[in-house]
Structure 1
Amino acid sequence: MGLFSAGLILHIARIVPFISAGRNFQTTVTGSLPFNYRELSQRKWNKHDSTKNPLIIGLPFGAFISIRSDEKPKDGLCHISQISTRRLESPSEILKTGQEVFVKVIKVQNDGKISLSMRNIDQSKGAEVLETGTVEPRAQKRKQDPDLWELTQMNSAFGVKKIALMGNGGDDPYAEVEEAREQESEEEEVEIEVSKRVPSFLKGKNLRLDVNESDLTGTKNPEGSMTKVAQYGSKFMSEAKMRKLEQKYEEDRAKRLEEKIRMNGDPLNQMSRSSENEIKDSAYKEWQRQSRNQSYGIRSSMTIKEQRESLPVYQKRDALLQLVQQNDFLIVVGETGSGKTTQITQYLAEEGYSTKGVIACTQPRRVAATSVAKRVAQEVGCRVGEEVGYTIRFEDCTSNKTIIKYMTDGMLQREVLVDPDLTKYSVIMLDEAHERTIATDVLFALLREAVIRRKGGLKLIVTSATLDSQKFSKYFENCPVFHIEGRTFPVKIFYTKEPELDYIQSTIETVIDVHTNNPPGDILVFLTGKEEIDTCCETLVEKMSLLRAEKPTVSELIVLPIYSSLPSEMQSRIFEPTPPGKRKVVLATNIAETSVTIDGIYYVIDPGYVKVNAYDPKLGMDTLIVQPISRAQADQRSGRAGRTGPGICYRLYTKNAYLNEMPANTVPEIQRQNLSYTILMLKAMGIDDVLGFNFMDRPKEQLILTALEELYILDALDENGVLTDFGQRMAFFPMEPLLSKTLIQSIEFKCSDEVITIIAMLSVPDVFYRPKEKRDEADRIKAKFHDYNGDHLTLLNVYNKWSDAENQRLWCQNNFVHEKSMRRAREVRRQLLKIFDNLDKRGRHTESSVISCRGNWDLIRKAFVSGYFKNSAKRAATHDPEEGSYRTLVENTPVHIHPSSSLFRKHGVDYVIYHTLVLTNKEYMHCITKIDPKWLVMYAPRFFRTADPSQLSTKKKTEKLQPLFNRNDPKETWRLSKGRR
């Protein structure tokens, strides 16, 4: 107890938010203590002395109470075990910001640290209350008697109560070290299970999804070699990940090895090894430096007029415009690079269609919509947003002057929700239709009806590089098909003799082989995503640096990545002409198949894989999976080598795989993705019979029924399948139903201001980054933003701190935060605030719906539970890392907390909700928040219910019993005494 005995003095203190290390704060003292702080260890305090101190700092492990004197403030720690007589998960269960409490000093250490307690204190009077009954003892060390331990556990397995066998003195033989034994749990454990209730409009329907992976991905031969490689992934990528995890130890090992070589007197080995590392490091740093240099796209000596007239579509201008005038529907098939995307809209505007309405062109990707709009604005001679503009989700760069408008297909779909006939448009061009996104497929049917209703007032042009033109023509009233021939040259195609087991390793080897043995010409490589591209770039830079150090005659290889999340100034570097005497290799996703045209490509390397979004009915969510491409995609990729001159395509798969394992065409997204948002949009447009909707390629009926069921449990549909007022409000937001419900519910919980910020942060790429050379520092700084409730509130902390720093770039650099992501989140937040304002005007509300919860974080967590209750998981009873530390409540699927989460390896986290599942080497929950299981039943009564205690729950029925005894195990590893202590 130090110098004081318990209960010598009681003080009043006030709770305030957590103050991070190194941050200064200022406050005012409303009273004074009747002692000098330096005399604290020399005198006793009178229990009637008190003051109102304005600082108590809430922490996960307790609370710091700031005791203020006339001279100097001093903090005392009140541990979580000293806050209440009952066990707490966190201090926030009792302590709130601004609350006044009574405390007592229980210890003053030699270094001046003070320990405080609130246990057994009447907070209304400030008097100490003597405990009645048995004092709760501290936990005992676990017994070391194996026989008693095992006997107790085996009895427990057969239903014997915990207290049946006790050791001498009544000690619990299986009490954990440093754990307080609970006498009676005040809160009974709640067993949650999924409700089996089916709405009346779905009764009698088959809601079970009998869908296998080949149905979702369109794989022609699920047993083929390419499918197996896609399933098991690249060994090279796995090894690269392991190298990155061990990278912080590599330098130390290298230094020890160099020192050992030096001590052995082998200067030749020392020189070769150290110089090799120096060459790799310097080459990689130089590549990073060059990649950060800003660039401004294609350089050409021709004028804009000459560039436009050099495009193949220019020769077909008059014939094209004549067909548009004569037909309401037109299919245009043109090679990539023929100019159809940038020129047709300008031809239509020059012909006078812009006087009848806006000319719109849709793109499946945001990066394509913005980049094409900038290029067309340059050709027209205006700023982006004036005569030429674009609209993507959460960003509208148009004005009342705009006559040519580029947009994502999803944004045009939302405009149909407000105006089914699209009266403000005169011509609509659906570009890149072969990609068959969900929004494009829905627009096929909606625009077909709108064109027929307007009787010549609206023209529809469907354009693509490769598609089944006859199928499209038949769907659009047997309309004509117009072909635009591009500048194509013959392409030689080479296949591998045997299946490649590691396509990443083969890709790197092929690039180096082409570069060292083939004539000049740039290389285009197709990979599945950012991670593969970054790994290949890094490996190529290192290998080429060593190769050129050994053979200086080898020309330089310029390594350039291209993917959608890459900054636009870095994307534009791929269009720059290759310097003389050098070769350029572009590593791209399928964005380079049709959306982007790169001049100077003579060699294409095609591993034959693509990453697609597929709806996993078992997990009930979308997942990104790698699968073999279709034959149409393979032909499109090989054609990239014949744009500038005769080229070569190296296909890293066999000809047999091309003919027998690849489907003819890519399966449309509408047949392999979750349709909840699509069905909600159709219902909001007044289309009640979604099963009879005129899709070009009809999705499976079970997928539609599953989407209807999800909308029902989200309260968007009533018992009869009719859109509710709540569902109508959900359709007003351009986002998935789970997010839109969370936003609307945040109004009810009076925390919409914070939820808008969090959702804006969720809508942008990851805000944190970890440079290889500063990983430890980045992780340490990131931990300052962590909230013990989870990642959603961590994102809120980041945005608030960035706002407090006045959005400074220096703040982002010092805290390893992507400034571009933060600015994008700020723009998304502005757009959401605008939507809320429009909703208030429609509802004629006098007060704004944007309300702050003022630090009551539980309200934010409840709002997310009301929307993301399906994405919930419970800590698994077993802690086998192979089975998963958590299991989803819906399908009992093993999942893990992602290492980047603020709750990673945190104790006391039993139930969580997650934003997405990320499948790498394990199924990881990304962006999670700790929740109370009672909230699931409270805010999702249509989906969850409390299990009947008289019956065995569904979860327990599926549990497997593991035998304690195994007579075939000679080492007796089955014995509980062999387990971890």
Structure 2
Amino acid sequence: MEAINDNPIVIICGETGSGKTTQVPQFLYEAGYASSGGIIGITEPRRVAAVSMSQRVAKEMNLSHRVVSYQIRYEGNVTDETQIKFMTDGVLLKEIQKDFLLSKYKVIIIDEAHERSMYTDILIGLLSRIVPLRHKVRGLPLKLIIMSATLRVEDFTANTRLFSVQPPVIQVDARQFPVTVHFNKKTPLDDYSGECFRKVCKIHRMLPAGGILVFLTGQAEVHSLCRRLRKAFPYQKNTMQSAACVPLLMCCSHLPSLSQTLPKIDLNNYSVVPPDEGDEDRDFDSDDDAAGSDLDLDLGDGDSGEDEKSDSSLPLYVLPLYSLLAPEKQAKVKDLLSQLYSSAVFMDFEKFSAPEITKRPVEDLILQMKALNIEKVINFPFPSPPPTEALAAAEELLIALGALKELKQQLAAKLSCPISPLGRVMATFPVAPRYAKMLALSRQQQCLPYTITIVSAMTVRELFEELDRPAGSEEEAAQLKARRARFLQMQKVWAGQGPMQKLGDLMVMLGAVGACEYSGCTREFCEQNGLRHKAMLEIRRLRGQLTTAVNSVCRDAGLYVDPKMEPPTEAQVTYLRQIVLAGLGDHLARRVQAEEQLDDKWKNAYKTALLEDPVFIHPSSVLFKELPEFVVYQEIVETTKLYMKGVSAVEPEWIPALLPPYCHFGKPLEDPPPSYCPGTGRVRCHRASVFYRVGWQLPAVEVDFPPGIERYKHFARFLLEGKVIKKLSSYSQCLLSSPLIMLKTWSKLQPRTEALLQALVKENCDNRDALVAAWKKNPKCECSACLIISHVSGLRGLVQTDQSLRRACLRQL
């Protein structure tokens, strides 16, 4: 506390279990940092930690949840009386957008900083600038405390760009009992799950009673190991409470909110060993991110997949852990840590894991920073700056989505593109930029409720249960077979028929969510139809949040979450497919034609703009047998092949119209000739194009005429013909020559036509909106209505009626 009182920024380094998260907020509260209306804010990288820690601290301090509260993405219990607030880092980042100085906080604690999540890094960078600004405000200082479980603090202390004055580091020792670490003599390269199963059985049969915590790489492996353990130690109805038993607690880190807390149910009816071996009860906790046990098994693998917001088009892999994760896992056990790899392999591990911000796409981070008016992201004081290539790729994507304004090449190279009005709207939605673009385009055709539902389902992911897993018994096999048949039947119903089916897997998601909500989102309905109940509840919460966000942007939208939502019409489905294409344009894939197949591995394959290898539609997709020519996908996963999931079919003529940044266009075609569009007030033409990087030839479509002098000429021609302003068509008979002369190469020999063209160029009038703006700004500008006529026809008398003609023209516009 002395260090905190004397320094604006303090780093606390202590092992897991040292009490940093629960005790430091209490010290600050007792020291008076929450008095006079101030709040002690603690950020956690996980929602479960924010909720459970607020409850723990409230219990230890004997305070109400109205005083010690939490706030996460979907829920919270913050009140006007809150003095200690636990929250996720994303919540605090949103608050900074509204109140940059965080004026209601007296202390900010960044917990679990060693995990180096992307939003933790940007928070530390922002707070490194907010703290000095707050200290300049008299009577409103802000304390920043960074807490880490490892000794990797050089990124903070030695980074003068981050902290000009090196903050003090307080080391806290926590280990009060020994932990024995065992390594395998040999590292299992293939069947590490089998080795894990054998090790669990051996530990349970040979070592004293206690819990066993097993770290696995994902949910599928958790379920697989638990099935094998149940089969090895079968259920016995006559097992007494005192007899040997093995409760199996399955915890998976991607489950939302409080679903990771241990269930308060009796699971002690699994007999594990013959009675004469005399073991006492033992708990097995199979987890991919859990805490607290007597014995621990570590596979030595970590899932390199991203969090639930990830939408990368590249495949995800399971990679080795870094060496300092083992001490973190030691802190979760009390006796024995068994590593399923050799000590030689352990010594080859990287000492630290690379920060998340250096490993994953950062377009959502860049968009949020641009919304904070941080234009030159490359100059931001990151603790570990992301690669320049990643920043450039993120800006390129955001420019293609229309979220950033494209600047000249020399400025764009400095990564300083400003945010566009569309980008500010997209930044208000708590989803990935691709999905935010889809929401921003959905006001037409009354498609917003459907887009919100689809985006919620794509964000939550893993809607459907894994029904293709191997069965542990014949009875389970029969149940899985029946459930698979039921799910396939419902999948066909949800996918619809005809044009509806072209929305593909997204139509299945939409139908599944709609049917689940119609039934009341009950657990029974989800189990009967192969849906994950927790995912459906999370989708419901996200739909509510997105609906609120959309209503705040479009105040006349009047949206609400309708549990009886009607299915979309065919016209709405077509528009939804176009919306999906506009958001997932860089996730476009084209079916490889027969003449393009290099060998058999390319049969029924697709080619993407980002990968050289062939990719395939996942067998679980409703479009698996249809094989449309062009599709967009949500993600690519790798098993035996690279498979696209979340697939939707698109029409080739939509691509150049909806994705012009990704297309290289040819010259305007003469047949059909350019035309004027009364709806947009712009000159249109037909152009052929190819898709960037891969050179896919696309059909010629009607697009805006490219910028240049030719566009001014065509606009002048349509203006003189009376197509832009009908009032001027009554003077067409007075023209001395045909408006087509504006397109001739020798038109500059005609003083009248050349004067009109130069007037339009001077006022940047190559469309109707620009012309109206010029007339309103200056009624006597060189391209005013009367001067247009007088330049061309010589009717000088019309100048005297300029005001009345101008008003008549403006009324028609």
Structure 2 equivalent of residue 752 of structure 1: 448
Kept after mapping to 2: 8 A contact 1:892/1:955: no
Within the candidate set 338, 362, 365, 1:675 is matched to 362
CA distance in 2, matches of 1:910, 1:714: 23
**Are 1:822 and 2:536 counterparts?**
yes
Alpha-carbon distance between aligned partners in 2 of 1:416 and 1:775, rounded to the nearest angstrom: 47
Equivalent-residue separation in structure 1 for 2:559 and 2:301 (angstroms): 47
Cα distance change of structure 1 residues 753 and 954 upon mapping to structure 2, 3 Å threshold? closer
* Alignment of structure 1 residues 567-966 onto 2, 5 Å: 571-573=260-262, 581-589=280-288, 591-592=289-290, 596=291, 598=292, 601-613=293-305, 621=313, 623-641=315-333, 643=334, 647-659=335-347, 661-720=348-407, 721-748=417-444, 750-769=446-465, 770=467, 772=480, 774-787=483-496, 788-789=501-502, 790-841=504-555, 846=556, 848=558, 856-878=572-594, 882-883=601-602, 885-891=605-611, 893-906=613-626, 909-945=628-664
Aligned pairs (5 A) from 1:168-207: none
Evaluate the alpha carbon distance shift between residue 835 and residue 380 of structure 1 in structure 2; reply closer, same or farther with a 3 A threshold. Answer: farther
Following TM superposition, by how much is the alpha carbon of 1:737 offset from its aligned partner in structure 2, in angstroms? 0.8
Instruction: Give the whole-Å Cα distance in 2 for the aligned partners of 1:340 and 1:712.
Output: 42
Q: Residues 663 and 817 (structure 1 numbering): CA distance in 2 closer, same or farther, change over 3 Å?
A: closer
Q: Output one character per residue of 1:554-589: Cα deviation in whole Å (capped at 9) or x when no partner.
A: 953333222223477774338999988122232222
Deviation of the 1:331 alpha carbon: 1.2
What secondary structure sits across from 1:560 in the alignment? strand
Q: Which of 145, 162, 165 lines up with 1:461 in the alignment?
A: 145
Aligned mates of 1:824, 1:568 — CA distance in 2: 9
- Shift in CA distance, 478/504, structure 1 to aligned 2, threshold 3 Å: same
Local SS of the residue matching 2:107: strand
1:506 aligns with 2:200: no
In the alignment, structure 1 residue 520 sits paired with structure 2 residue 209: yes
Which deviates more, 391-400 or 863-872?
A: 391-400
The one-letter amino acid of 1:585's match is F
Report the equivalent of 2:769: none
Kindly indicate whether the alpha-carbon contact (under 8 Å) linking 1:871 and 1:915 is maintained by their aligned counterparts in 2. yes
Q: Per-residue deviation at 1:342?
A: 2.4
Compute the displacement of 1:921 (Å): 2.7
Counterpart selection for 1:399 from 61, 75, 79: 79
**Number of the residue aligned with 1:76:** none
| Residues 958 and 509 of structure 1, relative CA distance in 2, 3 Å threshold | farther
1:756 partner amino acid: I
Q: Deviations over 1:303-328 (max 9, x none)?
A: xxxxxxxxxxxxxxxxxx33322221
Report if aligned partners of 1:560, 1:573 keep a CA contact under 8 Å in 2: yes
Cα offsets for 1:454-505 (capped at 9, x unmatched): 0162111111221323543344432222233324322222223333223222
Mark the CA change 1:378 to 1:760 in structure 2 (over 3 Å): closer, same or farther: farther
Q: Which amino acid aligns with 1:797?
A: G
Partner SS for 1:784: helix
**Cα distance in structure 2, aligned partners of 1:620 and 1:534:** 26
Aligned pair partner of 1:529 in 211, 218, 222: 218
Could you say if the C-alpha distance between residues 885 and 864 of structure 1 is closer, same or farther in structure 2, counting changes exceeding 3 Å?
A: same
Question: Is the contact made by 1:752 and 1:850 (CA closer than 8 Å) also made in structure 2?
Answer: no
Q: Identify if the C-alpha distance between structure 1 residues 338 and 703 changes in structure 2 by more than 3 Å, giving closer, same or farther.
A: same
Which one-letter code corresponds to 1:651 in the other structure?
Q
Aligned CA distance change for structure 1 residues 570 and 709 (closer, same or farther; 3 Å): closer
Which amino acid in the other structure matches residue 365 of structure 1? R
CA gap of 1:651–1:947, structure 2 versus 1, over 3 A, is farther
1:626-660 superposed Cα distances (whole Å, 9 cap, x missing partner): 1111111122223433x3xxx2322222222222x
**SS of residue matched to 1:667:** coil
* AA in 2 matched with 1:473: T
Aligned with residue 119 of structure 2, among 418, 439, 445: 439
In structure 2, relative to structure 1, the CA distance for the partners of 1:449 and 1:917 (3 Å cut) is: same
1:15-72 deviations in Å (ceiling 9; x for gaps): xxxxxxxxxxxxxxxxxxxxxxxxxxxxxxxxxxxxxxxxxxxxxxxxxxxxxxxxxx
- CA–CA distance in 2 between the matches of 1:742 and 1:443? 27
1:791–1:929 Cα contact (<8 Å) kept: yes
Alignment of structure 1 residues 205-354 onto 2, 5 Å: 321-354=1-34
Change over 3 Å in CA distance of 1:569–1:542 after alignment to 2: farther
Partner residue in 2 for 1:71: none
Change (3 A) 1:805 1:566: closer
Change beyond 3 A, Cα 1:603–1:813: closer
In structure 2, distance between residues paired with 1:527 and 1:946: 50
1:429 aligned residue:
109
Amino acid corresponding to residue 201 of structure 2 in structure 1: I
Structure 1 segment 137-148 matched on structure 2, within 5 A: none
Superposition deviation, residue 911 in structure 1: 1.4
The one-letter code sitting in structure 2 at the alignment partner of 1:511 is V
Choose 649-658 or 765-774, whichever is displaced more.
765-774
The CA distance in 1 between the partners of 2:149 and 2:694, in whole Å, is 54
Instruction: Give the CA RMSD over aligned residues.
Output: 3.4
| 8 Å contact from structure 1 (residues 874, 889) kept in 2 | no
Moved more, 707-716 or 912-921: 912-921
- Once residues 267 and 350 of structure 2 are traced to their aligned partners in structure 1, the CA distance between those partners, rounded to angstroms, is 36
Deviation (angstroms), 1:606? 1.8
Q: Gapped runs of 5+ residues in structure 2?
A: 269-278, 408-416, 468-478, 668-686, 698-813
Q: How far, CA to CA, are the matches of 2:187 and 2:525 in structure 1? A: 50
- The alpha-carbon distance between structure 1 residues 425 and 925, as it changes in their structure 2 partners (threshold 3 A), is same
Counterpart residue type for residue 516 of structure 1: R
Quick one: structure 1 residues 383 and 630, their matched pair in 2 at CA, closer, same or farther if it must change by over 3 Å? same
What SS is found at the alignment partner of 1:624?
coil
Closer, same or farther in 2 for the Cα pair 1:424/1:466, shift >3 Å?
same
Q: Which amino acid aligns with 1:902?
A: V
Q: Which amino acid aligns with 2:298?
A: D
Q: Matched residue pairs, number? A: 615
Query: Is contact 2:636-2:645 (8 Å) kept?
Result: yes
Aligned residue type for 1:786: A
Distance 2:521 2:184 in 1: 53
TM-score (norm 1): 0.58
Which secondary structure state, in structure 1, belongs to the residue aligned with residue 615 of structure 2? strand
Separation (CA, whole Å) in 1 of partners of 2:296 and 2:522: 43
Return 5+ residue gaps in structure 1 as ranges.
1-320, 960-981
**Is it true that 1:363 corresponds to 2:55 in the alignment?**
no
Contact 1:395 1:828 in 2 (8 A): no
